[in-house]
């Protein structure tokens, strides 16, 4: 593992999040879920957003907040493991969240609703229905057999000409319901034929 200072220099990203201190279990559950649904990640507690090391005052209190979030505000529960590292005599608490094999995980929000999140760059972003379906099926290694119907062919031909497509455009192209268009996209993502790109504003799909 690179030293904490090197990690901090990389800045926040897909697998790294800084927290000066933990104040809100709902917010932290969101980060935990996004990491577990992705490739895993590390929370560095005692580090400000700009990367300056503030240190934690009470690691027991911070651990308690994280474990409460992981067990009570995440479904299925998440099991982070901790490391305590001193940097320039200040304590940084590292919470490691492994990639989960029971995806998708959901986090409880302040309105008592459960939502799935994924990590995009340095943000935890709400997962779309399509991404949730992909997470549900991703670890089933049975291998999906795809027979390319006219619908799949039309989609791939469209991507050949236009580079990208949204769910709305696909449903229009195939003159089918969103639900059916979603199913086609999910299968093609799982068989690695297309890839989803999600941002906070939009989601679109490209050929691999």
- Backbone angles phi and psi of 116, in degrees to 5: -95, 140
Share of the chain above pLDDT 70, in %: 95
**Would the pLDDT of 1 be above 60?**
no
The DSSP bridge partners found for residue 127 are none
Q: What pLDDT sits at residue 84? A: 96
Nearest to 180 by CA among 201, 150, 160: 150
Q: Which architecture does CATH list for 4-125?
A: 2-Layer Sandwich (3.30)
153-173 pLDDT, tens digit each: 999 999 999 999 999 999 999
Which structure tokens are listed for 156?
């791939």
**CATH number, span 136-207:** 1.10.10.10
* Helix segments in the chain, DSSP class H: 4-10, 25-37, 59-72, 129-137, 150-162, 167-174, 178-190
Which strands form 41-45's sheet, in the order they lie side by side? 16-19, 41-45, 90-97, 81-87
Which structure tokens are listed for 45?
């507690």
Structural domain boundaries of the chain?
4-125, 136-207
61-96 pLDDT, tens digit each: 999 999 999 999 999 999 999 999 999 899 999 999
32 neighbors 70 (Cβ within 8 angstroms): yes
115 neighbors 132 (Cβ within 8 angstroms): no
Mean pLDDT of the chain: 92
Mapped to the 3 state alphabet, what secondary structure does 86-97 carry? Answer: EECCEEEEEEEE
pTM greater than the 0.75 cutoff? yes
Q: What pLDDT sits at residue 46? A: 97
Do 4-125 and 136-207 have matching folds?
no
């Amino acid at each position: 593992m690179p030293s904490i200072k090197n990690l901090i220099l990389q800045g926040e990203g897909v697998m790294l999040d800084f927290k000066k201190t933990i104040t809100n279990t709902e917010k932290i559950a969101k980060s935990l879920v996004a990491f577990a649904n992705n490739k895993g990640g590390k929370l560095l507690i005692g580090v400000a957003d700009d990367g300056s090391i503030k240190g934690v005052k009470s690691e027991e209190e911070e651990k308690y907040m994280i474990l409460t979030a992981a067990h009570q505000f995440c479904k299925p529960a998440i099991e982070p493991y901790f490391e305590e590292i001193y940097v320039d005599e200040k304590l940084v608490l590292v919470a490691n969240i492994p990639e989960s094999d029971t995806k998708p995980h959901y986090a409880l929000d302040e309105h008592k609703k459960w939502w799935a999140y994924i990590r995009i760059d340095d943000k935890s972003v709400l997962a779309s229905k399509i991404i949730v379906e992909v997470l549900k099926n991703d670890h089933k290694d049975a291998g999906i057999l795809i027979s390319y119907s006219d619908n799949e062919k039309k989609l791939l031909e469209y991507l050949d000409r236009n580079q990208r497509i949204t769910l709305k455009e696909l449903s229009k192209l195939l003159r089918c319901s969103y639900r059916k268009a979603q199913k086609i996209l999910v299968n093609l993502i799982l068989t690695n034929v297309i890839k989803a790109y999600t941002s906070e504003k939009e989601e679109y799909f490209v050929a691999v």
